[in-house]
Structure 1
Amino acid sequence: MTRSTSDALLLPSLIIVAALSASFSFHANAQNSSTSPPVEEVIVTAQKRDQRLQDVPISETVLSEDALRNAKIDSGTEIARQTPNLRVSVLGNESQPKFSMRGISTAEFNLNAISPTGVFYDEVYIGASYLGGAQIFDIERIEVLRGPQGTLFGKNTTAGAINFISKAPQFEREGYLTLGSGTYDYREIKGVAELPLIDDKLSARLAFSSASSDGYIENVNPQQPDVSDIDRQAGRLSLGYKDEAMDVTLRIFKNKSDPQAIGAINTGTGPGGTNGAGTNPRTNPYTGQPLDNDQVATDRGGKIRVRGDGGYLTINRDLGAVTLTSITSYLDGSFLNEVDADGTFQNVLHIDFIAENREISQDLRLSSNDGQAFNWIAGLYYFKDDVDVNTVYRIFEPFPGGVVLDQNYTQHRTSYAAYADGSYDLNEDYTIYAGLRYTDDEGRIEDFQVNPTIPPQNEVSYDDAEPTGRLGIQKRLQNHDVMFYAQYAYGYRSSAINGGALTSANELTVADPEKLNAYELGAKSQWLDRKVTLNGSLFYYDFSDQQFLNVAGIGQQQLVNAGESSVMGLELETIYRPTANLQISAGLGLLDSEYEDLNLNGEDLSGNELIEAPEHTFNIAVDYSRHLGELGSLRFHADATNIAEQHFSATNAPEYEIDDFWDLGARISFLSQSETFEVAFYGKNLTENDTPTGLQIDPSSMTRFTTVPYPRRFGIELTVWF
């Protein structure tokens, strides 16, 4: 999309939003004399307090427990199916998603890397992407916050924040058990049981989830297992205590994942699709015939081992005029991914990624309780993580000149912050809001060495200090069913150290912090007696010093800053409930991105589109229920997602480009009249989409490495509530 095309799109979008808002005002005012039917409000905590979604000046998608179940969303990699301008790429497995939001992403896959999209579980920041990947069970909702969230959520939320909110103890006896089976011998069991220990005082809630399957992609090598299987288990014990002045929730979790690697569909970039060893990865070595899209021929299965455990303690103490909140966390985990990066029977490029992480954090804040014109939050924050990394590269190992590079180091990061955020109602119609956070980030790598190329190095470190914040104004129409907002926000992502240096100590460099100036106009509205919800936002980003991994070849991984970039975009989300039995929801995201100043490998890439920034994302879902009298009810769900073509390299070269695609899912269920059991049938990826979800090219081995989604599959579930 060219700049002129974007202008042509955004100007009509402004006119449409303004016209619709005027229409909303007319309809809402006309209906003031009638009684609106009860509407279930969506309550969110995007501003660290319970608020109606329609009152929050943030472009936000909320996926409820019902939405997750109906769409059969089982992992963090799938939430983009229902979220405009959110993309997920995968180079490892489903427990290690890499998010891109509004075109802001990172190409870095080193084990010490951090994402510009902050991932939170129950308000706890997760630095290592794999530590929370298996925890999507017994979830109350997922909140996707687009745009810089540096004031209340902290550093490394330049693109936005994703907050997974698990169910806290309900202080009543309840539970359910779900058994599932599907194609490729898919088996699943998950459940919840809550037992009050002291009535209305103390309760324990235990939730668990386990799933396994055969490999979805066949390895034609009989000595190796099939790949792209599922093997994950997780459990969470939540203890809740409450009295008149205080509530406490302790969550203790443990998860593990032991699949083979996601099947990589590799191609050679040399003549006739050959790699650096003269082998075509897409040829069956036994028959000489081309491999199907659901087949690979590799000399290793690509074992993955993920372990994670830890706990979060949340305390809220009512002090009268204010509430004191303390959130304390500890997480520990390990990661192993044995990658067959060349995708052949030969050891052209094998990589073993190994890491151990420890993370602790403390958030301590005060928030006002009076509910008057002025509301505020102020707090202090501390975060520390340590990661031990061991990465082994086996490059043309059995060939003359082959080499094994064994990389080891330890990275320490600490972050201190103080923040305040508040809003003031000027009158019934206008509210101004502002926030400011000051963060001090320190990081260092110790004992860095690569055997045999880089001897032990001295400490490499950084020390950043940066304010972030926001300033905005809200305008409500008299009926309060329509709200406009305009805001400026500043986001920042701390410095990063190149954990991919392999052949020279000069590669052990520090990339400068990313900085983002974001300008946004938005509208949230409900009309036609609140049967229609329509929310939209327009934004412009001035993005500087994007941290960028430039892979010039094995041994030539450079972590650099990408100069200047700009992004313009639009999001529209709507929910239409014409009857109590039917709901239609849809979302549209548009992006126009451009590198305004970028030079890599002596090439001027200014004018190219940003990586992982498709020009459009579109999603739609339909939910319909039909009552069957005393028997119960049938429920139907269908959803579809369309993503435009996108680039995985700033060069925008064709070999780094993936096509647009459609993804469809459906579910039909029978719910008993007493709502004690449900039987459901579902299908996922009904279009048999095999468009890559991750892409990387290694010039040294002349290999194009891509991962693909799970194929079309079907399943049945039985859920019993007790």
Structure 2
Amino acid sequence: MNYTNVLGAAAMLGLAATVHAQQEPAAPPPAPPAEEIADANKVVVTAQKREQLLQEVPLSVNAMSAQALANAKLDTGTEIARLVANLRVSVLGDESQPKFSLRGISSSEFNLNAISPTGAFFDEVYVGAQYLGGAQIFDVERVEVLRGPQGTLFGKNTTAGAVNFISKKPTFRQQAEMTVGVGSNGYREAKGMLEAPLIENRLSARLAFTGAHSDGYVHNVNPAGHDLSNIDRKAVRLSLGYKDESGLNGTLRLFAVRNNPEAVGATNEGLAANGLNALGKNPRINPFTGARLGDREVATDRSGNIEVRGSGGYLTLNKRLEHGTVTSITSFLNGRFLNLVDADGTMDPLLHIDFTSKTHEFSQDLRFSSSFDGPFQVIAGLYHQRDKVDIGTTYTIFGGPPVLPILRQKYNQARRSNAAYVDGTYELDERATIYGGLRYTRDEGEMRGFHVTPVVPVQPTLSYSDAKPTGRLGASYKLSRDVMAYGHYARGYRSSAFNGGALTNAADLNTAKPEYLNSYEAGVKSQMWDRRLTLNASAFRYDFKQQQFLNVVGIGTQQLVNAGRSRITGAEFEAALQATRELRVNASVGLLNGKYRELLLNGVDLSGKRMIEAPRYTANAGIDYSLPLGGYKLNFHGDASVIGEQYFLATNAPASRVGVTRDVSARIALLSPSKKVEVALYGKNLSDNRNPAGIVLDATSQTRFTTVPYPRRYGVDLTVRY
């Protein structure tokens, strides 16, 4: 399928559909007053750093409310792709390590010092540590997915876009909520919230927590081992809210995360003839019985475990002035990560890797958001962010001595980022608005003390200094009260990066150059039938240069390179219908055509190959229906998604291909007349999808390392509200 001309075609298609629907409107179904139903489509977002209705934001944004997340039983950031077109999440570790791919832009790098091109934000705070990017979805107001480069207001490392997890703020009312649940495979969970005003209408405290545990979903047939890929997560957040009559309000959020699952169960395959690995063994054969292992069975000599520790705080202060608001967001966090991996997935000590990392991050955002009388509004600010990462990785290959030495890689990395930005809108008249912004960022980084005992001595310090502008320029036009068309140009960039995967050769230790993205996007946002029906369409073309790319050459040789040029064209179509007060349906489709236009790896020209983790299409649909039952209410939710085939290697090798993936989930809940008690039954992955969620081809062990999603599973939970 060719989407070369999709930019104009999709925008015209969305506009034509909207105009046609307005010219020949179908009769709406009988329902309560239109205003009451239309309220369900009034979604407020902060995609442009100020509260706006979603339909008035000239961006491709997907917003999932707290109710939508609960209905779909989404527990972690790794699951949100079920509901978002052109968003993919791959997983090479456990659920706390999502790797986002947005509109076909992803990163093949899995080193612990790596930075994703899709920025993960928590209450507007950028978090660089990938293992802290799988936010536990508890007591969350909404999740916003911003497609396209967000280099103006969100900054660097948002080449692909941004995912913003927004937690609930204190309401200054006494309230409480508690959910307990059990499920298949020994699953059990508890989560809740308690808020108590400390000073009436002045100071309030909100405590939220979540915890879940299950048995391993990947069975280890080794009697001396443990089942793998279980769930074990715990998190707590204390939010203090303050407000006074002077126009000052603030929220202090303090959090802690503790995850301790068993290591991921890698269902590996050998890459040599007959599925054999470097030791001549087939990882998919049970060494105790000789039978073939199932899709969720392994035979490993090492169970391993994962340990995630995170803590920190975010302080948000807002001061209303006569002509606007001054906002300060200060953050700090500390994290620690351990992952003991049996990378070969067999009973042999062929390849064991111990990943360890410690991180410290700090950021400060200070901005002014205007509320002028008149057509001009502006946001201007200063930003500072820094982090320090200490990495230690141990490789035991072929059992270690006497065959090979145990390799211990260590280094520390420090990064600093300073930026100034301004973004403004100007209403030319009641219909037309122009908008634009500019951000200037200076990024600096150092890698010190890199060495690999006993093969690579301590290396000289590496450093980089980038000073780059990013920005956007566009216009929107209201064709009617409920129809808006927009178009803009945006530029994004990801800062330089160090090759944290260098191992046996000091020459592999290098600094990759920054990557750049020029984006051209057009779209239509519309509502009809008294705003019960929302139809949005967006189309885009990306020119991608110097994409940072992980190149695995061979045993112990891993390079971080810049991948020349790529081009991506695509579109999203989204629809939501609030047919009645009881019935809501939604659907979305994402289309992609992403190819490398200039890519040379290992002397092989890969121009024309499909980009990694860029399926040609993604689609999802959902339905929510409420049935009154004598004062009670029975709520039904179902959602389904389908993802086209994709590749995890730029060579498009068959071993890196994942076929069409389908996922179906459902939830039925009974709500009491008082709305204080709810009992729900749910099922996830009802289609029993077994396609890999991540793939790495390892030349050392001649192994295809794959992770699989959690299997079909069921559960029931009880929620009590006060």
Instruction: Report what 2:248 is aligned to.
Output: 246
1:477-496 deviation per Cα after TM superposition (whole angstroms, max 9, x unaligned) = 23x20000000000000000
CA contact (8 A) 2:11 2:537 kept: no
Secondary structure, counterpart of 1:228 in structure 2: coil
Aligned partner (choices 307, 310, 313) of residue 308 of structure 1 = 310
- Matches of 2:312 and 2:477 in 1, distance apart? 43
Corresponding residue number in structure 1 for 2:390: 388
Q: 1:641 to 1:73 in 2, by over 3 A?
A: same
Measure, in 2, the Cα distance between the counterparts of 1:471 and 1:10. 17
In structure 2, the partner of 1:37 is 35
Whether the aligned pair in 1 keeps the contact of 2:400 and 2:406 (CA below 8 Å) is no
In the other structure, the counterpart of 2:159 is: 158
- Whether contact under 8 Å (1:83, 1:619) holds in the other structure is yes
- Aligned equivalent of 1:454: 456
Residue 637 of structure 2 is matched in structure 1 by 637
Shift of 1:15: 4.1
Deviation, 1:53, is 0.1
- What is the CA distance between 1:75 and its match in structure 2? 0.6
Deviations 1:567-606 (A, max 9, x none): 0000011101111111111110000011000000000000
Deviation at 1:6, TM superposition (A): 2.0
Q: Structure 1 counterpart of 2:501, which letter?
A: G
Q: Cα offset for 1:13?
A: 3.4
SS at match of 1:441: strand
Q: Which amino acid aligns with 2:524?
A: A
Counterpart residue number, 2:465: 463
Q: Distance in 1 between matches of 2:141 and 2:6?
A: 36
Match of 1:675 in 2: 675
1:581-600 correspondence to structure 2 within 5 Å:
581-600=582-601
Query: Which residue does 1:350 correspond to in 2?
Result: 352
Aligned residue type for 2:404: G
Tell me how far 1:134 sits from its aligned partner: 4.2
1:175-254 correspondence to structure 2 within 5 Å? 175-244=176-245, 245-254=247-256
Q: Deviations over 1:333-378 (max 9, x none)?
A: 1000011010000011111110000000000001102353111000
Mark the CA change 1:336 to 1:17 in structure 2 (over 3 Å): closer, same or farther: same
Q: Measured at CA, do residues 221 and 371 of structure 1 come closer, stay the same or move farther in structure 2, by a change above 3 Å?
A: farther
Q: What is the identity, as a one-letter code, of the residue corresponding to 2:463?
A: S
Amino acid at match of 1:42: V
Which residue matches 1:532? Answer: 533
Q: Which runs of 5+ in 2 are unaligned?
A: none
Asked whether the equivalents of residues 476 and 484 of structure 1 are also in contact (C-alpha less than 8 Å), the reply is yes
SS of 1:687's partner is coil
Q: Distance in 2 between matches of 1:451 and 1:181?
A: 47
Structure 1 residues 600 and 555: CA distance shift in structure 2, 3 A: same
1:709 corresponds to 2:706? no
Is the CA contact 1:24–1:482 (under 8 Å) kept in the aligned structure 2?
no
Q: Does the 8 A contact of 1:24 with 1:525 survive in 2? A: no
Shift of 1:21: 2.5
TM-superposed CA distance for 1:394, in Å, is 0.9
Letter paired with 2:359: N
Specify the SS of the correspondent of 1:477: strand
Q: Deviations over 1:694-715 (max 9, x none)?
A: 0000112100000000000000
Match of residue 565 from structure 1: 566
**Which AA in structure 2 matches 1:169?**
P
Contact 1:175 1:191 in 2 (8 A): yes
Q: Distance in 1 between matches of 2:592 and 2:464?
A: 33
CA contact (8 A) 1:648 1:695 kept: yes
Kept after mapping to 2: 8 A contact 1:134/1:256: no
Contact in 2 for aligned 1:668/1:681 (Cα 8 Å): yes
Contact 2:248–2:319 (CA<8 Å) still a contact in 1?
yes
| Cα distance in structure 2, aligned partners of 1:274 and 1:74 | 38
| Partner amino acid, structure 2, of 1:688 | D
Specify the alignment match of 2:442 in structure 1: 440
Cα distance, 1:155–1:674 mapped onto 2, change above 3 Å? same
In 2 relative to 1, CA 438–599 (structure 1 residues): closer, same or farther, beyond 3 Å? same
> Quick one: which amino acid aligns to residue 461 of structure 2?
E
1:514 aligns with 2:515: yes
What is the RMSD computed on CA atoms of the aligned residues?
Answer: 1.5
CA distance in 2, matches of 1:35, 1:180: 37
Q: Secondary structure at the match of 1:533?
A: strand
Mark the CA change 1:153 to 1:134 in structure 2 (over 3 Å): closer, same or farther: closer
TM-score (norm 2): 0.97
Q: Which residue identity does 2:303 align to in structure 1? A: G
- Tell me the equivalent position of 1:652: 652
Q: Is the 8 A contact 1:134 1:232 kept in 2?
A: no
Q: Which of 411, 430, 433 does residue 431 from structure 1 map onto?
A: 433
The one-letter amino acid of 2:35's match is P
Measure, in 1, the Cα distance between the counterparts of 2:524 and 2:11: 11
Tell me which moved more, 245-254 or 36-45: 36-45
| 1:403 aligned residue | 405
2:261 counterpart (244, 259, 262) = 259
* Distance change (3 Å), C-alpha of 1:719 and 1:52: same
- Kindly indicate whether the alpha-carbon contact (under 8 Å) linking 2:8 and 2:539 is maintained by their aligned counterparts in 1: no
Q: Is 2:721 aligned against 1:721?
A: yes
Cross-structure match for 1:282: 284
Rounded Cα–Cα distance in structure 2 between residues aligned with 1:424 and 1:710: 49
Residue by residue over 1:500-535, the C-alpha shift from the partner in whole angstroms, topping out at 9 and shown as x without a partner, is 111111111010100000000011110011111011
Does the residue aligned with 1:80 lie in a helix, a strand or coil?
helix
1:663 has 2:671 as partner: no
1:693 is aligned to 693
Please tell me whether the aligned partners of residues 134 and 255 of structure 1 are also in contact (alpha carbons under 8 angstroms).
no
Confirm or deny: 8 A CA contact 1:374 1:424 kept in the other structure: yes
Equivalent pairs counted in the alignment come to 715
Match of 1:403, SS state, is: coil
Q: Shift in Å at residue 302 of structure 1?
A: 2.5
Q: Is the contact made by 1:90 and 1:707 (CA closer than 8 Å) also made in structure 2?
A: yes
Identity of aligned residues (%): 57
Distance 1:402 1:549 in 2: 25
Match of 2:96 in 1: 95
Q: Cα deviation per residue 1:633-688 (whole Å; 9 max; x = unaligned)? A: 00111100100000000000101111111000000010001101000000000011
2 CA distance for matches of 1:634 and 1:115?
41
Distance 1:35 1:292 in 2: 55
Amino acid aligned to 2:19: A
Between the aligned partners of 2:242 and 2:435, the Cα distance in structure 1 is: 33
Shifted more, 438-447 versus 11-20: the winner is 11-20
Q: Deviations over 1:145-181 (max 9, x none)?
A: 0000010001000000000000000000111000000
What is the rounded CA distance, in whole Å, between the counterparts of 1:668 and 1:269 in structure 2? Answer: 44
CA pair 421-14 structure 1, distance change in 2 beyond 3 A = closer
Residue among 13, 18, 21 paired with 2:15: 18
Given that 1:664 and 1:686 are in contact with CA atoms closer than 8 Å, whether structure 2 keeps it comes out as: yes
What SS does structure 1 have at the residue aligned with 2:630?
A: coil
Task: Please report the TM-score for the alignment, with normalisation by the length of structure 1.
Answer: 0.97
Q: CA deviation at 1:135?
A: 3.2
Which amino acid is the alignment partner of residue 215 of structure 1? Answer: G
Shift of 1:211: 0.2
Structure 2 vs 1, CA of residues 537 and 121 (structure 1 numbering), >3 Å: closer, same or farther?
same
- What is the distance in 1 between the residues matched to 2:616 and 2:27? 38
Shift of 1:17: 1.5
String of CA shifts for 1:207-234, please: whole Å, max 9, x gaps: 0000000011110011111001011100
1:270-325 Cα offsets, whole Å, 9 max, x none, are 11101000110000000001001121000111210000000000000012112110
Q: Structure 1 84/6 Cα, relative in aligned 2: closer, same or farther at 3 Å?
A: same
The alpha-carbon distance between structure 1 residues 24 and 428, as it changes in their structure 2 partners (threshold 3 A), is farther
Task: Name the SS for the 2:185 alignment partner.
Answer: coil
* Structure 1 residue 402, shift from structure 2 partner: 2.5
Q: Is the 8 A contact 1:396 1:403 kept in 2?
A: no
1:339 maps to which residue? Answer: 341
8 A contact 2:6–2:569 mirrored in 1: no
